[in-house]
């Protein structure tokens, strides 16, 4: 399971002045926040009325991801960063509010493989027909609706504009959050694969993308399991990758061009590179121990070399002087020793950039 926090948007959908939706959203936030803290969930309240989304006005189809308007790009960023949604919705004439349908129609890829739960409110049906209508739409967008719901009948549950204390409703709301978090974790590999910029990798079902500071927890774990062998081969524990905290990893992920190889939401390997003076520095090449010998390290090395910037004349890398397997790999790829072993026990290898 990923170490990343789950981010849940609580979408209050009614835009009618004086609507009851904000009161329901406030009750929901107060009710589930303690459980969200226990689960490490970030709750983000969003009122659709505050987004100023006009009726869909993009020329290109939402599936293209080409957005001309700033309000669309802003909405895209909000939804893309989320891992799941809880929709607070009334029922209008047997259906969902137009504002919710419009907000859904604006986007495509950003919704995919994320769970969505519903808290409805109303009179005769407690808003449940709005939920049924919504489920027909959201599944087309590859959202995954939850079985758990909360249905609030206003005449039974509301007093003086607020929801009365009700253990049954409170428990149902927490149940929606619990199920949403479980499904969000289960769907994370699907979301990762669908992310913009992901490209096919060397293994069936694998993919590669640039790593960002948000990937620091996974990178930290990968480094700890990959560089133990380096420490043993060089008889030293002073290997930086073994000691870096997630915060330190986050810092260098912001400045290095780092490629990650993934499958089913698992980080299998990585390599980082950047230009320093006229040299293209390659480092932190690592592959999970159970997949070594499959050619993944060589594949990642070549991927880093292919990204060399035009002004670089050499590709350089460092490894432990006792890391014979690493040195053998680099030499087979055309690298030669570029300097004596340093005081830190590392050796530098380099090769010229091929025109």
Q: pLDDT > 90: what percent of the chain?
A: 83
Binned at pLDDT 50, 70 and 90, residue 3 comes out as low
Average pLDDT over residues 83-95: 96
SS3 186: helix
Average pLDDT over residues 164-168: 90
Nearest to 62 by CA among 22, 112, 27, 96: 112
Structural tokens at position 288 = 């999970």
d(CA 258, CA 285): 10
Domains annotated for the chain, with CATH where assigned, are 6-188 (3.40.50.360), 199-352 (3.40.630.30)
Give the rounded distance of the alpha carbon of 333 from its chain centre: 34
Binned at pLDDT 50, 70 and 90, residue 1 comes out as very low
- Which DSSP state fits 248? H
Quote the pTM value: 0.76
> Looking at residue 324, what is its pLDDT?
93
d(CA 257, CA 282): 10
d(CA 340, CA 10): 59
Average pLDDT over residues 208-237: 93
């Amino acid at each position: 399971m990923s170490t990343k926090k789950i981010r849940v948007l609580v979408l209050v959908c009614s835009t009618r002045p004086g609507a009851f939706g904000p009161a329901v959203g406030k009750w929901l936030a107060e009710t589930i926040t303690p459980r969200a803290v226990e689960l490490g969930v970030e709750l983000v309240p969003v009122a659709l009325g505050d987004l100023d989304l006009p009726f869909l006005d993009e020329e290109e189809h939402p599936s293209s991801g080409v957005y001309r308007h700033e309000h669309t790009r802003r909405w895209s960023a909000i939804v893309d960063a989320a891992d799941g949604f809880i929709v607070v919705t009334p029922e209008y004439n047997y259906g969902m509010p137009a504002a919710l349908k419009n907000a859904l129609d604006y986007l495509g890829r950003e919704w995919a493989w994320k769970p969505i739960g519903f808290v409805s409110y109303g009179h005769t049906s407690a808003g449940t027909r709005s939920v049924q209508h919504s489920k027909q739409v959201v599944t087309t967008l590859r959202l995954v609706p939850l079985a758990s719901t909360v249905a609030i009948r206003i005449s039974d549950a509301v007093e003086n504009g607020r929801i009365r204390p009700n253990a049954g409703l409170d428990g149902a709301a927490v149940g929606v959050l619990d199920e949403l978090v479980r499904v969000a974790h289960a769907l994370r590999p699907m979301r990762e694969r669908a992310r913009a910029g992901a490209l096919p990798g060397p293994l069936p079902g694998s993919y590669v993308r640039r790593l960002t500071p948000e990937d620091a927890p996974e990178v930290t774990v990968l480094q700890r399991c990959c560089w133990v062998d380096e420490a043993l081969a060089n008889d030293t524990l002073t290997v930086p990758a073994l000691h870096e905290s997630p915060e330190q990893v986050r810092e260098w992920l912001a400045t290095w061009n780092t490629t990650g190889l993934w499958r089913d939401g698992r980080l299998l390997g990585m390599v980082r590179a950047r230009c320093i003076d006229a040299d293209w520095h390659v480092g932190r090449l690592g592959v999970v121990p159970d997949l070594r010998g499959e050619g993944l390290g060589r594949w990642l090395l070549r991927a880093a070399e292919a990204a060399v910037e035009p002004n670089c004349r050499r590709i350089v890398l460092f490894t432990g002087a006792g890391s014979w397997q690493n040195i053998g790999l680099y030499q087979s790829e055309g690298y030669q020793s570029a300097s004596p072993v340093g005081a830190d026990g590392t050796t530098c290898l380099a090769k010229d950039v091929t025109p």
